[in-house]
Structure 1
Amino acid sequence: MNNHSGHHSVGMFAAVLIGLSAVCPFNSIHAAPSAAQSNNLGSNIFYQASSGVSPVESTSPAQEQKQTETGPSNSSLHPGGTSAGSPVQEQGVPSGLKQAADGMIQSLSSQPPFAEWKDAELSYHPLGPGTHSWLVQVNRAGQSIGYLVIGTDTNGVYQLNEYGSGSGGPYSMDVLRQSLQSLSETELSSTDKLQITPMYEEPLLAYWLVRSSTGSQICIDAMTGDPLPLEVADGSWKHKLHHNTPPLTIDFLGTQAQSVAFTAAPFDPYDDLGWLQPKQKLSIHSADQFIDTLRTSPRIIFSATGINFVFGGPLSINGYQSWISPDDSSHPILYALSQHDGLSRFVPLKQLLSSGEFYGLDF
């Protein structure tokens, strides 16, 4: 099985969303604690959600169809255990992905903001189909304490698309459920049966693709639960991206996370809209310029006019984290830090440099 196509072999899950009958192919594969020290798959497959939505066992396509029509079974799964009679399944996670995730988490857990990640439980969720990305949830005591989104480059080398520490990470079933409940009858009928697919597209677009049995579809932001523009579903937003030559990617194997540099307290870009003035625009086109600017203007904002939804932006930036590759120690890989509502989200600076503008609040 190819590393970048492993998500095609994983079964589907049916999940109950209050007031709606939904098929949610957001499957997960649970790994034991100390994932950085072992490549053994866990003995059970489940979706570990903080929402209280009870997951059900992995099913065959025939069983899925039956559950779609009649509702899922009453079995429940608990972190670290299996439901009575549930089949043991050990499939779906490419070994290369596990090796990459283990190395990234082991490196991050050596830094104070990620100390809780040491020996945490990991669950793997394929994002797709066809996007070659995985969500790796970092869990402790049944609660998510962080996440990684890992993808592949054109050569199949695993890359860290983004990561975050704290609550409020992407693809919360609770956020999805609330979002679906808030949609009006004109958008989705309560009698519709829904197919819900977690999606991730570069640069940083995390969303749920919701298709109804009547043929309509809606895209929901996987972070906020807000409905996304129609151009997400048809992909027309992509022509708005700057078509710069993609930067060279680096194999993350052996790459080490450095200390997080905090330059200011968390802030909301909507609290002070002064940054929208033309004079606040910054000249940042490289990693060195980004670091130098934060020394004099510790609060900066990234904005991509017309496609901020692709980045979850505008993004308030109040720090960064560097990763050092043993193959090129003179050129650190930088991730910009954006903090909001208890989540510290780290996004690759290279994606921001080629796709939008930076603005300052402190000069």
Structure 2
Amino acid sequence: MKLRTAWTTACFICIGSLLFLPVQSSAGDNSDRTSLVQRSGQSAADSPQTAAAKPVPDLRSESTLTATVDKWRAALAHEAGFEGWQSASWNSYPLGPGTHGWVVILTDHGEDVGYMIVHATENGTFRLTEYGTGKHPLFSLTTLYRSLVQHELIPTTISYSDFAANETIAKERLYTDALTSVWKIKLQDQTYYLDAKSGEVLPLKEDPTPKLTDTEDTLPETDLAGEAITTLHPAFDPYDRMPWIVGAPLPVNSLPELQNALDTNENLTYVTELYDGQVTLPLAILGYQSWQEGSPYLILDHEGPRYVRLSAALGMGHVYE
């Protein structure tokens, strides 16, 4: 998916999307020694820097996160498009200082099949902030490697396995709020920021600040109980039509309003302005997934289906016909 920087708005020129080869197994992510890795049956902890940033919630036991992720994985595996999650294993990696969050990357038979973004709540439980399917998970180390090679930020002589294990290349995952997710990479004396989904280089000079003002820690835990109601439409290119450049957004502020809009027009586009307006991100809306218990999720097409909490997405962007 293309990211459009603000300075191109007047002439409608978009940043070209990076062209990646199909992502292979991300098993190499396990050798990312700069991260805290959690495999099924093991637990991960925040770094000392993270722990010092704010009080750590009582997580009750080290097995709680593992049990919660496995419960979510099993529930989602019954949904269409998540079939590969049934027997998938997973690893987790921390998301930036003070966030008490993790990205969970799922693999099945050596292939990436999806991801989850998990945050601890104030009462020691966990919230499923975001999740997605496909071979291009959020914070894929494989996507990062290919992007750095393509932009000639690392030489092609460095293999993927050597890159993953190279501790002189600082690789930090930053997830400040919905859709604000970046890789922070330090190469020698230079710092680069790349989109955590597409791998595109971002025009940032410092860590992004959260766009949402409400703290995520106060939100309730996630319970994927009962049956999910899912509406899913085919993907389309939001650049085929661009009403989001000159048109007015639809008055969509809730799930019923989104449902009404999708009944009228299946090709809706979600648009958010990121990084103080430096980047415009238009994404095709595929539909929504609403659980019997818990918050509904907006399904966006961003290098594969991306399920973002609807309230957070609507708080950060707008819907266009």
Specify the alignment match of 1:313 in structure 2.
281
Specify the alignment match of 1:117 in structure 2.
85
Please say if residues 124 and 136 of structure 1, whose CA atoms lie closer than 8 Å, have aligned partners that are also in contact: yes
Matches of 1:242 and 1:143 in 2, distance apart?
Answer: 34
Which letter does structure 2 place at the counterpart of 1:276? I
SS in 1 for 2:273: coil
After superposition, residues 348-363 of structure 1 pair within 5 angstroms as 348-360=309-321
Q: Deviations over 1:168-216 (max 9, x none)?
A: 112222221122224457xxxx9x94211222221232221112332x3
Matches of 2:234 and 2:138 in 1, distance apart?
Answer: 22
Name the CA shift for 1:225/1:257 in 2 (closer, same or farther; >3 Å): farther
Which of 143, 166, 176 in structure 2 is aligned with 1:201? 176
RMSD: 3.3
Matches of 1:115 and 1:14 in 2, distance apart?
Answer: 23
Structure 1 position 147 matched with structure 2 position 115: yes
Which letter does structure 1 place at the counterpart of 2:263? R
Please say if residues 304 and 355 of structure 1, whose CA atoms lie closer than 8 Å, have aligned partners that are also in contact: yes
Which letter does structure 2 place at the counterpart of 1:266? A
Matches of 1:308 and 1:100 in 2, distance apart?
Answer: 35
TM-score of the superposed pair, with normalisation by structure 2: 0.72
After superposition, residues 25-44 of structure 1 pair within 5 angstroms as 25-31=34-40, 40-41=41-42
After superposition, residues 257-336 of structure 1 pair within 5 angstroms as 258-262=228-232, 264-279=233-248, 281-307=249-275, 313-325=281-293, 333-336=295-298
Aligned-residue offset at 1:142 = 1.0
Specify the alignment match of 2:57 in structure 1.
none
Structure 1 position 222 matched with structure 2 position 196: yes
Q: How many equivalent pairs are there? A: 266
Which of 99, 103, 113 in structure 2 is aligned with 1:131? 99
Structure 1 position 107 matched with structure 2 position 75: yes
Which letter does structure 2 place at the counterpart of 1:209? K
After superposition, residues 56-135 of structure 1 pair within 5 angstroms as 94-135=62-103
Aligned-residue offset at 1:145 = 0.8
Matches of 2:176 and 2:251 in 1, distance apart?
Answer: 27
Matches of 1:148 and 1:266 in 2, distance apart?
Answer: 21
Which letter does structure 2 place at the counterpart of 1:251? E
Structure 1 position 339 matched with structure 2 position 301: yes
Aligned-residue offset at 1:309 = 8.8
SS in 2 for 1:100: helix
Aligned-residue offset at 1:149 = 1.0
Matches of 1:121 and 1:143 in 2, distance apart?
Answer: 10
Name the CA shift for 1:253/1:169 in 2 (closer, same or farther; >3 Å): same
Matches of 1:114 and 1:311 in 2, distance apart?
Answer: 31
User: Which consecutive unaligned segments of at least 5 residues does structure 2 have?
Assistant: 1-28, 45-60, 159-166
Aligned-residue offset at 1:357 = 1.4
Aligned-residue offset at 1:119 = 2.6
Name the CA shift for 1:344/1:246 in 2 (closer, same or farther; >3 Å): closer
Which letter does structure 1 place at the counterpart of 2:39? H
Please say if residues 199 and 207 of structure 1, whose CA atoms lie closer than 8 Å, have aligned partners that are also in contact: yes
User: Which consecutive unaligned segments of at least 5 residues does structure 1 have?
Assistant: 1-12, 16-22, 32-39, 46-92, 326-331
Name the CA shift for 1:198/1:223 in 2 (closer, same or farther; >3 Å): same
Please say if residues 152 and 158 of structure 1, whose CA atoms lie closer than 8 Å, have aligned partners that are also in contact: yes
Aligned-residue offset at 1:274 = 3.4
Aligned-residue offset at 1:24 = 5.1
Aligned-residue offset at 1:272 = 1.8
Please say if residues 205 and 311 of structure 1, whose CA atoms lie closer than 8 Å, have aligned partners that are also in contact: no
SS in 2 for 1:354: helix
Higher Cα radius of gyration: 1
SS in 2 for 1:272: coil
Please say if residues 203 and 310 of structure 1, whose CA atoms lie closer than 8 Å, have aligned partners that are also in contact: no
Instruction: Determine what percentage of the aligned residue pairs are the same residue.
Output: 25
TM-score of the superposed pair, with normalisation by structure 1: 0.64
SS in 2 for 1:225: coil
Name the CA shift for 1:147/1:226 in 2 (closer, same or farther; >3 Å): same
Specify the alignment match of 1:90 in structure 2.
none
Aligned-residue offset at 1:322 = 0.6
Please say if residues 178 and 308 of structure 2, whose CA atoms lie closer than 8 Å, have aligned partners that are also in contact: no
